[in-house]
């Protein structure tokens, strides 16, 4: 068994990654370390095998002795690090926990991995060993570290970091720590910086689940500012496939951007979801006129997020040309799957 430590996999992306990865690699065992903060939910892992190939450990990546004990107990041959505080709005209200988990926790994790692996027969730069032949530390990061774009241009791996929110600043800090462990110690690291994900199991607080949930409840659908902030949306499984490729085939010390070339502003996202819901789950006809209202009537503009970045867009050429990755979902196919999943989830909840 090839044992890999994954962190934060009771959250959105990690819980999509675990079943995908275990299904694809029958010889892999995952140790899943997750604190189960408000963002983690064991129900997200109900489609993951409950077997000795998936061992769940509830705990904090900031707990050095716990992380060390996992390296002592299991012969961990790689780390894929998802765990983070991930919501920008929360980072504006409470930045401290973002620095603690994202910066300090990532430091503890990579430092323990480095020391554990150093004591094994394979050591790093000073041993003259090729880092590619040593265990790999894969850090999952975000395009938000690059800051904001004007109306044109794309983020490449060479774009300078200019994080604007406490969330993106803390992710940038963790990226720099990982980078330093490669450059200083020759550790086998890769970093992926991905654009906004959407899909099943995303936490209620994020844009797309909020729109679907509020619409179905007949409540106002809040849109920040003028709704013209642009994100480059990627279906979560396409992200997981990109991580898989980079973890296995990416070059040590490299950074890879992941993005689906699916730029949409928030108005477009919200209106598309409302149109699809109008078809898939129409609102009740109005009693007096008998006409069916659109979910779009619920859209309400609210005060903008402080420091709201205007536009993100990813150039994924490096991942596409070097590793042959290509997003398989367009926004139209991905959002349809997503809405279908949430409709099922909310109808099941109503059955409870």
Ligand X SMILES: NC(=O)c1ccc[n+]([C@@H]2O[C@H](COP(=O)([O-])OP(=O)(O)OC[C@H]3O[C@@H](n4cnc5c(N)ncnc54)[C@H](O)[C@@H]3O)[C@@H](O)[C@H]2O)c1
Binding site for ligand X (CB under 6 A): 7-8, 10-14, 33-37, 39-40, 60-62, 82-86, 101, 105, 140, 142, 171, 194, 196-197, 203
- Pick 14 or 186: Cβ nearer ligand X: 14
The two structure tokens encoding residue 233: 């949306």
The verdict on whether 167 is a catalytic residue reads yes
CA distances from 219 to 56, 151, 293 (A): 37, 32, 13
- State in angstroms the smallest separation of the CB of 87 from ligand X: 7
- State in angstroms the smallest separation of the CB of 327 from ligand X: 14
Asked if 240 and 192 count as a contact pair (C-beta separation under 8 A), the reply is: no
The two structure tokens encoding residue 136: 């790999």
The two structure tokens encoding residue 302: 């609210």
Rounded to whole angstroms, how far apart are CA atoms 174 and 281?
Answer: 42
- Pick 124 or 312: Cβ nearer ligand X: 312
Residue 135's nearest CA partner among 119, 150, 122 is 122
- Pick 11 or 147: Cβ nearer ligand X: 11
Residue 138's nearest CA partner among 169, 91, 174 is 174
- State in angstroms the smallest separation of the CB of 317 from ligand X: 18
- Pick 85 or 295: Cβ nearer ligand X: 85
Phi and psi (nearest 5°) for 338? Answer: -65, -45
Rounded to whole angstroms, how far apart are CA atoms 316 and 169?
Answer: 22
Residue 329's nearest CA partner among 229, 212, 192, 233 is 233
- State in angstroms the smallest separation of the CB of 169 from ligand X: 12
- State in angstroms the smallest separation of the CB of 100 from ligand X: 7
- Pick 197 or 262: Cβ nearer ligand X: 197
The two structure tokens encoding residue 337: 């799957």
Asked if 68 and 90 count as a contact pair (C-beta separation under 8 A), the reply is: no
- State in angstroms the smallest separation of the CB of 311 from ligand X: 16
The verdict on whether 219 is a catalytic residue reads no
- Pick 11 or 253: Cβ nearer ligand X: 11
Asked if 5 and 68 count as a contact pair (C-beta separation under 8 A), the reply is: no
Q: Which residue in 167, 181, 185, 198 is the catalytic one?
A: 167
Beta strands in the chain (DSSP E): 2-7, 28-34, 54-58, 76-81, 136-142, 188-194, 197-198, 221-224, 230-232, 234-235, 255-258, 263-265, 299-302
**Which residue's beta carbon is nearest to the bound ligand X?**
11
Q: Which residue in 34, 60, 85, 144 is the catalytic one?
A: 144
Asked if 280 and 337 count as a contact pair (C-beta separation under 8 A), the reply is: no
Q: Which residue in 34, 60, 143, 232 is the catalytic one?
A: 143
Residue positions annotated with a catalytic role:
143-144, 167
């Amino acid at each position: 068994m090839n044992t890999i430590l994954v962190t934060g996999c009771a959250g959105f992306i990690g819980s999509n990654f675990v079943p995908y990865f275990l299904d694809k690699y029958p010889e892999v065992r995952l140790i899943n370390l997750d604190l189960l903060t408000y963002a983690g939910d064991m129900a997200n892992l109900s489609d993951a095998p409950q077997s000795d190939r998936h061992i769940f450990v509830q705990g904090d990546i900031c707990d050095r002795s716990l992380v060390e004990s996992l390296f002592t107990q299991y012969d961990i041959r790689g780390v894929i690090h998802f765990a983070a505080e991930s919501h920008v709005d929360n980072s504006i209200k409470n930045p401290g926990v973002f620095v603690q988990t994202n910066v300090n926790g990532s430091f503890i994790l990579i430092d323990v991995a480095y020391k554990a692996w150093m004591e094994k027969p394979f050591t790093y730069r000073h041993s003259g060993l090729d880092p590619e032949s040593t265990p790999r530390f894969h850090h999952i990061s975000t395009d938000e570290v690059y800051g904001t774009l004007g109306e044109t241009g794309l983020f490449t791996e060479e774009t300078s970091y200019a994080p604007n929110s406490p969330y993106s600043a803390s992710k940038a800090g963790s990226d720099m720590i990982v980078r330093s462990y490669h450059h200083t110690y020759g550790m086998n690291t890769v970093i992926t910086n991905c654009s906004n994900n959407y899909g099943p199991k995303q936490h209620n607080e994020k844009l797309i689940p909020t729109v679907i949930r509020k619409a179905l409840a007949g409540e106002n659908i809040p849109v920040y500012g003028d709704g013209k902030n642009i994100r480059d949306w990627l279906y979560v499984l396409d992200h997981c496939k990109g991580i898989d490729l980079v973890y296995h085939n990416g070059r040590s010390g490299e950074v890879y951007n992941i993005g689906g070339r699916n730029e949409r502003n928030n108005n477009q996202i919200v209106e598309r979801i409302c149109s699809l819901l109008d078809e898939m789950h129409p609102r009740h006809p109005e009693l007096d006129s008998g006409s069916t209202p659109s979910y779009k009537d619920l859209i309400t503009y609210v005060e903008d997020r402080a420091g709201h970045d205007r536009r993100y867009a990813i150039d994924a050429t490096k991942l596409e040309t070097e590793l042959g990755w290509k997003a398989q979902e367009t926004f139209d196919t991905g959002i349809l799957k997503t809405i279908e999943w949430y409709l099922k989830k909310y109808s099941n909840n109503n059955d409870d």
